[in-house]
Structure 1
Amino acid sequence: MKRERALRPIFTRRALLLGAAEFAAFGALAARLYRMQVLQHGKYATLAKQNSVNERLLAPLRGLITDRHGAILAGNKQHWRALFMMIQTPDPASVIDRFAALISLSDAERRRIGRDISGKPRYIPVLLKDYLDWSEMARIEVHAIELPGVFVDVGASRVYPLGDATSHTIGYVARPTQVQAQANPVLALPGMRVGRAGVEQARDTVLRGSPGVVQTEVNAHGTVVRVLDRDNGTQGQTVQLTMDAGLQSLAAQKLAGQAGAAVMLDATNGEVLALASQPGFDPTLFDSGVPESVWKSWITDPKRPLNDRATAGLYAPGSTFKPNVALAALECGAITPETTFFCPGYLKLGNHTFYCWDHYGHGNVNVVSALQQSCDVFFYHTALVTGIDRIAAMGRRLGLIGRVGLDLPGVSEGFLPTRAWARGRHLVWTRGNTVIQGIGQGYTQVTPLGLATMTARIASGRAIGPHIARAVGTVAQPGSTAAHWPVLGLDDRHLAAVRQGMFEVVNTPLGTGWASRLTLPGVHMAGKTGTAQVHDETAAQEKSNFNDASLPWKFRPNAFFIAFAPVHAPRFAVAVVVEHGNEGASVSAPIAHDLITAALTRDLTAAPPGIIQSAPQAALPEAAPA
């Protein structure tokens, strides 16, 4: 008993210490719980929410490209696609393998996915499969539990309603390169495209828009349960062009089956109304990837459908160069409107004979009748008395060569030789070189756009510059009035003489373009035909006036025609080239005739019947949960 009484105080003290320790521990725990659940409720609620709610960026819709009336030339079409969020699984490779077992992936797609997984941040979605059909979507839905991070979303692809009729001018879009995506993470988003040619490339920055964001709820397996919120971002701005969809389609239609180009400008302000190059290609293929078989067919086609002939095609212009030679001679005083040269059908220079296209000769001709009948001998003499440097200077003044300012990439400047150029290349410039330059052969190289610009400047007397953007968003682009363009400063009498010669080309029986005169009452067109050889004829062929139409297609001359109308109040300027068309009068002139007739009989301030107007882009539907 005494021992028990002695131990009781010791036990009580231990129990008290143990109880105090337990109380302290539970008190600390309670305090911790109070702090976490009450004082720090907001912090941990946010962390919990982030555990089940994910946010990802969305590629914005690309801006529209329209013609002057609002007809869509480049728009967007919705489709379904499968995306993958790497951040929602520790083993992305196994998920990709399981996905590939369900949905067929080509070798190229597997390689692309591999590059994206290794090169993209984990918070950026990876495109697994574009353009899903309903059966593929169903398989993804059924096996969602096995595919953490995989979900079906709405994408948009680029469409071009006029197809190959605008393929070179409007251009196309394609996936960004790895370098571009690394430099700008927004470009790494699935569905982002960059412009690769034409207006798509020239206005790429304003067409891209700003990315949006989608907020989704996911379960413990990383599978999307529902979409909580979606902001599609800001669509790129609409770029309205000066082009007329009707005239562009007509130009492409008239060139169909041939290799060539047709350019129509508003001669009062330089607005591009049509800029056609044929053959063209399907620009929509670049969005998803051009099949190898199609690419091979393009690059092996002798008519080279990928080449933009309107702005980058370089040609010897033949007799369409003669108005430039005439103005150069008149302005420097080498000839006057009354000067005549005798054409016996040839010009002998040293031991070489330069023939006129008409071996019988044209007799005595002045600048007007020489243009009318396209007398080569007159322009042989005119080039000799003018000199190659003055001819080149006038070509630059008329916009035939040089930077004409068209707001498109890849526009060629053309080329006119000078004595300084020849000296720099250790070439001996002879009088014979000058002779053949006088009829647009030799080293001279111009584009159809340059020819149209020259024609517009001759018609207006102003330094008209071609431009194709009319408005970006709500901001009008400069150059829509004649007052924007300075006068050329050419003598009115000299311009009148050249215009008269071009008038007689089309409107008199002796004119080389008589067959393509306008049939509209009281309206006349002025023009100039041109035929440019693409290979050298032998002396015997030249002497015998050899018929080039009997040659194989690739050796036949190129056919040209330039024109403006109406003559007394010029509104439209046109240049047409048909490669290996043999004669401009019979091949290219009818195309220009039809384009000008269509333009003159329509009100270009209003859309013609049947034009599809652009409309606000419909909101994208919500993505289906995987």
Structure 2
Amino acid sequence: MKRSAREDAASTRRLTRRALLIGGAQVAFGGMLALRMRYMQVDQADEFRLLAEENRVKVRLFPPARGALFDRNGAVIAKNEPSYRIIITPEDAGDVEMVIRRLSHLIDLDPEDLAKARKEIAQNAPFRPVTLADRVSWEAISRVAVNAPALPGITPEVGLSRQYPLGPDLAHVAGYVGPVSDYDLSKIDAPDQLLLIPRFQIGKVGVEAKLEDDLRGKAGNKQVEVNSAGREMRELNRREGQPGANLQLTIDHRLQNYVQARLGRESAAAVIIDCDSGDILCAASAPSFDPNLFVRGISVRDYRELTENKYRPLANKAVQGLYPPGSTFKMVTVLAALEAGEVTPEETVYCPGHMEVANRRFHCWKRAGHGQVDLMASLRESCDVYYYELALRVGIEKISAMAEKLGLGQRYDLPMSAIARGRAPTKDWKKQNFDQDWVVGDTVNASIGQGFVLASPLQLAVMTARMASGNHVAPRLIKSVDGVEQPIEAATPLDINPNHLRMVRRAMYSVTNHRKGTAYKSRIIADAMHMAGKTGTSQVRNITAEERRRGVTRNEDLPWERRDHALFVNFAPYNNPKYAVAVVVEHGGGGSTAAAPIARDITLQALYDGEPPLEAYPKAARSKVKAQQERLRRERRDFLNRESDRA
């Protein structure tokens, strides 16, 4: 049927509208494409250019030089030495095992290192480099570089590794570094990318760990052009990193070396503090260990030898060890009593060899007793009963407060590991920790540094420095940072009557210089260098009534771990205190026989800044001291020769 003209016109109008809509849509779509193309080609040109560049440019981090450690006189404690290594980047290598086989034909690969590397490759992302061989020779590096085209993904590198030239002398103070472990990374919320570099070394203990952020520095980086196979073709840009800070410690390494040698094979610790500045000149712990063993990962055998040694060479006894201070605590008790007005210097107490308190007998170390003793005689001869009496008068709260005022029961803010707080107990402390009431016997025990009282050698040295100077001496370990001297805490007088301190110092002088003094044999006779001190012997076992009836077993007849600890604290010179010393010999027996001679010797070494003349010693001790000095010199020469051969 033929359509009318009107129908043809309507059909034409509909087609025209549809064409216009379709055409408009096409124009809009084309316009959008054009705008998108312009946006990508013009507005985002730089971004896409960067993406294209990153297909052929890689950024490599390189570690900064770790800051060095020096002693107070500039001797190197820790430094960096060149170290060559071979690394592999799995994603660049392709067939990793094939590349390793080729590499093994060129250089010797340790099976243990290879096993460790394969484990790291399996656990990490393919773009993360893994070390195949460490501490390789320059000749090996050269062979790898020459054969580079046949070793995709293999990169020879030169880096820096830590070395401790003084070996065991400062192991407990400086600490050591080691490869970053998964445990290390787990403790950090946002790890520095430096820590992901293969075998990157960070501080594990000691100053190396506590001041890691200062010593590590900031990473540098370089941009390198790579070809389609991922091989580096040329270096495009380099930004140098920032080296770590160089730290100077207050330690005198020569004095530290002597003290370590003098402690010998004992399980012991010694601390020497400058009475004016608080500088720690020596913080020795024996036996020690070689920190160089830990730098690249210690062997299982070496680590087992250290951990199974009953003398605990890995423990820093100088700051970590806690011991009943024994009679070295008696100065605390007598100062508390003097300050409280509970005793006068002239007042005497009768010592029959024991005291009955709350239906319990507390014994004096001298079974027959000391008779009538005053303040001077009680410290000089270390009468226990005198201090039992003072404790009953003054009470534990005032004794504890005096202990804290003198530096006990505090954790010092020093960059060393596991610094112990110690303990100056109170009634509340016992209630909180044992849910028991304090009893009078606890106070009696505390008065002579037994029972709940605990102190470290560092705290005992601080206590002695404060009594010697009359000032609030604060220990300090960092002398300067990058050559900038660190501030010394201003010395403020202790809130203790200076006359009372003077009385105690005079009594300590009689300990070493009066014929009845417990440390008379360990005195210094050189003019103007006389020392004042106090012996201490702390029990580690209970002595039963039956044992007392038949006679207390001598320390030398007991197994080593059941013998008493030996302690001695002192300062010198008496008239112008310069150094304060604390010595603890674990299970050494008596303080007068085991600890006092060591303290005397290291005090003289500090005062003379080197080996003292024999004339500084009592005549009866000179032949023994001479032989000892010759032995220590010989041992030092042997040590230096071994270190030279190792280097």
The TM-score by the shorter chain falls in which range? 0.7 to 0.9
The structure 1 residue matched to 2:302, chosen from 291, 294, 297, is 294
- Once residues 581 and 120 of structure 2 are traced to their aligned partners in structure 1, the CA distance between those partners, rounded to angstroms, is 48
Conservation of the 8 A alpha-carbon contact between 2:567 and 2:583: yes
Alignment of 1:247 with 2:255, yes or no, is yes
Alignment of 1:571 with 2:578, yes or no, is yes
The structure 2 residue matched to 1:323, chosen from 328, 331, 340, is 331
Conservation of the 8 A alpha-carbon contact between 1:147 and 1:223: no
Alignment of 1:474 with 2:451, yes or no, is no
Residue identity opposite 1:106 in structure 2: P
Conservation of the 8 A alpha-carbon contact between 2:339 and 2:496: yes
Alignment of 1:271 with 2:279, yes or no, is yes
Residue deviations 1:202-222 (CA, integer Å, cap 9, x gap): 211110012223566767765
- Provide the residue aligned with 2:161 in structure 1: 157
The alpha-carbon deviation at position 252 of structure 1 amounts to 0.8
The structure 2 residue matched to 1:536, chosen from 514, 527, 542, is 542
The structure 1 residue matched to 2:311, chosen from 300, 303, 318, is 303
- Once residues 545 and 493 of structure 1 are traced to their aligned partners in structure 2, the CA distance between those partners, rounded to angstroms, is 39
Residue identity opposite 2:302 in structure 1: V
Q: Following superposition of structure 1 onto structure 2, how do residues 50-89 of structure 1 map, counting pairs within 5 Å?
A: 55-86=59-90, 88-89=92-93
Identity over aligned pairs, percent: 39
Q: Following superposition of structure 1 onto structure 2, how do residues 335-354 of structure 1 map, counting pairs within 5 Å?
A: 335-354=343-362
- Once residues 121 and 520 of structure 1 are traced to their aligned partners in structure 2, the CA distance between those partners, rounded to angstroms, is 70
The structure 2 residue matched to 1:110, chosen from 90, 110, 115, is 115
Residue deviations 1:552-607 (CA, integer Å, cap 9, x gap): 1111111100001111111101100010110111211122112211221129xxxx
Conservation of the 8 A alpha-carbon contact between 1:259 and 1:578: yes
Residue deviations 1:48-93 (CA, integer Å, cap 9, x gap): 9988775522111110011111111111111211123445344446
Alignment of 1:438 with 2:447, yes or no, is yes
Alignment RMSD (CA, Å): 2.8
Conservation of the 8 A alpha-carbon contact between 1:362 and 1:375: yes
Q: Which moved more, 1:371-380 or 1:397-406?
A: 397-406
Q: Following superposition of structure 1 onto structure 2, how do residues 144-293 of structure 1 map, counting pairs within 5 Å?
A: 144-178=148-182, 179=185, 183-214=191-222, 233-293=241-301
Alignment of 1:452 with 2:457, yes or no, is no
Q: Residue 49 and residue 353 in structure 1: after superposition, are their counterparts in 2 closer, same or farther (change >3 A)?
A: closer
Conservation of the 8 A alpha-carbon contact between 1:156 and 1:191: no
The alpha-carbon deviation at position 396 of structure 1 amounts to 0.8
Q: Secondary structure at the match of 1:471?
A: strand
Residue identity opposite 1:202 in structure 2: K
Residue identity opposite 1:504 in structure 2: S
Conservation of the 8 A alpha-carbon contact between 1:144 and 1:223: no
- Provide the residue aligned with 2:627 in structure 1: none
- Once residues 116 and 316 of structure 2 are traced to their aligned partners in structure 1, the CA distance between those partners, rounded to angstroms, is 32
Alignment of 1:131 with 2:135, yes or no, is yes
Conservation of the 8 A alpha-carbon contact between 1:389 and 1:419: yes
Which structure is higher in RCO with an 8 Å CA cutoff and minimum separation 6?
Answer: 1
- Once residues 193 and 57 of structure 2 are traced to their aligned partners in structure 1, the CA distance between those partners, rounded to angstroms, is 22
Q: Secondary structure at the match of 2:319?
A: helix
Conservation of the 8 A alpha-carbon contact between 1:56 and 1:125: no
- Once residues 330 and 379 of structure 1 are traced to their aligned partners in structure 2, the CA distance between those partners, rounded to angstroms, is 12
Residue identity opposite 1:315 in structure 2: Y
- Once residues 596 and 111 of structure 1 are traced to their aligned partners in structure 2, the CA distance between those partners, rounded to angstroms, is 49
Alignment of 1:501 with 2:507, yes or no, is yes
Conservation of the 8 A alpha-carbon contact between 1:150 and 1:223: no
The alpha-carbon deviation at position 318 of structure 1 amounts to 0.8
Q: Residue 458 and residue 105 in structure 1: after superposition, are their counterparts in 2 closer, same or farther (change >3 A)?
A: same
Q: Which moved more, 1:527-536 or 1:160-169?
A: 160-169
Structure 1: state its 5+ residue gaps. Answer: 1-41, 604-609, 611-626
Conservation of the 8 A alpha-carbon contact between 2:268 and 2:286: yes
Q: Secondary structure at the match of 2:399?
A: helix
Conservation of the 8 A alpha-carbon contact between 1:314 and 1:445: yes
Residue deviations 1:272-305 (CA, integer Å, cap 9, x gap): 1101111112212222111011111111111111
Conservation of the 8 A alpha-carbon contact between 2:538 and 2:564: yes
- Provide the residue aligned with 1:412 in structure 2: 420
Q: Secondary structure at the match of 2:315?
A: coil
Q: Residue 306 and residue 437 in structure 1: after superposition, are their counterparts in 2 closer, same or farther (change >3 A)?
A: same
Residue identity opposite 1:360 in structure 2: A
- Once residues 599 and 162 of structure 1 are traced to their aligned partners in structure 2, the CA distance between those partners, rounded to angstroms, is 19
Conservation of the 8 A alpha-carbon contact between 1:120 and 1:188: no
Q: Residue 205 and residue 121 in structure 1: after superposition, are their counterparts in 2 closer, same or farther (change >3 A)?
A: farther
- Provide the residue aligned with 1:37 in structure 2: none
Residue identity opposite 1:67 in structure 2: D
The structure 1 residue matched to 2:567, chosen from 557, 560, 565, is 560
Q: Residue 407 and residue 338 in structure 1: after superposition, are their counterparts in 2 closer, same or farther (change >3 A)?
A: farther
Residue identity opposite 1:161 in structure 2: P
Conservation of the 8 A alpha-carbon contact between 1:359 and 1:545: no
Conservation of the 8 A alpha-carbon contact between 2:84 and 2:138: no
Residue identity opposite 2:447 in structure 1: G
Residue deviations 1:494-529 (CA, integer Å, cap 9, x gap): 101111111100111111111111132222111000
Conservation of the 8 A alpha-carbon contact between 1:355 and 1:542: no
- Once residues 222 and 595 of structure 2 are traced to their aligned partners in structure 1, the CA distance between those partners, rounded to angstroms, is 55
Conservation of the 8 A alpha-carbon contact between 1:347 and 1:354: yes
Q: Which moved more, 1:556-565 or 1:188-197?
A: 188-197
- Provide the residue aligned with 1:12 in structure 2: none
The alpha-carbon deviation at position 184 of structure 1 amounts to 1.9
- Provide the residue aligned with 1:546 in structure 2: 553
- Once residues 295 and 192 of structure 1 are traced to their aligned partners in structure 2, the CA distance between those partners, rounded to angstroms, is 21
- Once residues 397 and 534 of structure 2 are traced to their aligned partners in structure 1, the CA distance between those partners, rounded to angstroms, is 23
Q: Residue 231 and residue 116 in structure 1: after superposition, are their counterparts in 2 closer, same or farther (change >3 A)?
A: farther
- Provide the residue aligned with 2:43 in structure 1: none
Conservation of the 8 A alpha-carbon contact between 2:93 and 2:154: no
Residue identity opposite 1:189 in structure 2: I
The alpha-carbon deviation at position 45 of structure 1 amounts to 12
Structure 2: state its 5+ residue gaps. Answer: 1-45, 611-635, 637-647
- Provide the residue aligned with 1:524 in structure 2: 530
Residue identity opposite 1:238 in structure 2: N
Conservation of the 8 A alpha-carbon contact between 2:255 and 2:605: yes
The alpha-carbon deviation at position 140 of structure 1 amounts to 2.7
- Once residues 369 and 547 of structure 1 are traced to their aligned partners in structure 2, the CA distance between those partners, rounded to angstroms, is 25
- Provide the residue aligned with 2:591 in structure 1: 584
- Once residues 391 and 99 of structure 1 are traced to their aligned partners in structure 2, the CA distance between those partners, rounded to angstroms, is 70
Conservation of the 8 A alpha-carbon contact between 2:211 and 2:415: no
- Provide the residue aligned with 1:375 in structure 2: 383
The alpha-carbon deviation at position 247 of structure 1 amounts to 1.1
The alpha-carbon deviation at position 145 of structure 1 amounts to 2.7
